[in-house]
Amino acid sequence: MERKILDEKVKDIEENFRRASWKIKVKGREILEEFEITPPQFTALLTLNAKDNLTIGELSSEMYLACSTVTDLLDRMERNELVARVKDEKDRRVVRIKVLDKGRNVINGVMENRRKYIDKILTGVSDDMIDSVYEVMKMLNEAMEI
């Protein structure tokens, strides 16, 4: 394929990714509002759910936020009974963050609504096309891994 045509396609691919990403982000924020949780709180919940029992410092590193910012975030999440601070069994000086049942329910509810949104977007799209989108997205995500 001629380079100029390829450059135009790459430009269009980037623009379509950016636009789709923005629309998904906006819808994701609407969904979070239904669950009365902020995007940073949801990110923290997902991180804590994936990597159980992190310390505040570890969560701060994972989220690329200052410890003081994460502490404030966790204070609100703890008041809302999404997480709990638990002393480490081996070293009582260490405090770990545990996702509570309500936090897991929020994660499950938000993810279910996000999947329903994507499913709605794909209504009318053939199974073959959905398979193709799946394979391309999988390949791109693997290629982008650092």
Task: For the chain, 146 residues long, give each residue's pLDDT as a single digit of tens.
Answer: 566 767 888 999 999 999 999 999 999 999 999 999 999 999 999 999 999 889 999 999 999 999 999 999 999 999 999 999 999 888 888 999 999 999 999 999 999 999 999 999 999 999 999 999 999 999 999 999 86
In whole angstroms, give the CA distance from residue 93 to residue 83. 19
pTM of the model: 0.85
In whole angstroms, give the CA distance from residue 143 to residue 78. 37
Question: What six digits make up the tokens of 125?
Answer: 């799209």
Q: Dihedral of the CA atoms 71, 105, 22, 118 (nearest 10)?
A: 160
Sheet-wide strand order for 54-55? 54-55, 95-99, 83-87
Overall fold of domain 3-144: Arc Repressor Mutant, subunit A (1.10.10)
* The predicted structure's pLDDT at residue 7: 86
Strands 83-87 and 54-55: unpaired
* The predicted structure's pLDDT at residue 88: 85
